[in-house]
Amino acid sequence: MLKALSLALISLALIPALSTASDAVSTNADSMLRGEKLYKSACIACHGTGAANAPVLGNKKAWAPIIEQGMDKIISVALHGKGAMPARGGTKADDATLRAAVEYMISRAQ
Based on the shown chain and the rule CB under 6 A, indicate whether residue 50 belongs to the binding site for ligand HEC: no
Q: Give the shortest CB-10-to-ligand HEC separation in angstroms.
A: 44
**What Rg, from alpha-carbon coordinates, does the chain have?**
20
Compare residues 34 and 88 and give the one whose CB is closer to ligand HEC.
88
- Can you tell me the distance from the alpha carbon of 50 to that of 55, in angstroms, rounded to the nearest whole number? 6
* Structure-derived torsion over alpha carbons of residues 90, 94, 99, 105, reported in degrees to the nearest 10: -40
Residues found near ligand HEC in the complex (CB under 6 A): 38, 42-43, 45-47, 51-55, 66, 69, 73-74, 77-78, 82-86, 88-91, 93, 98, 101-102, 105
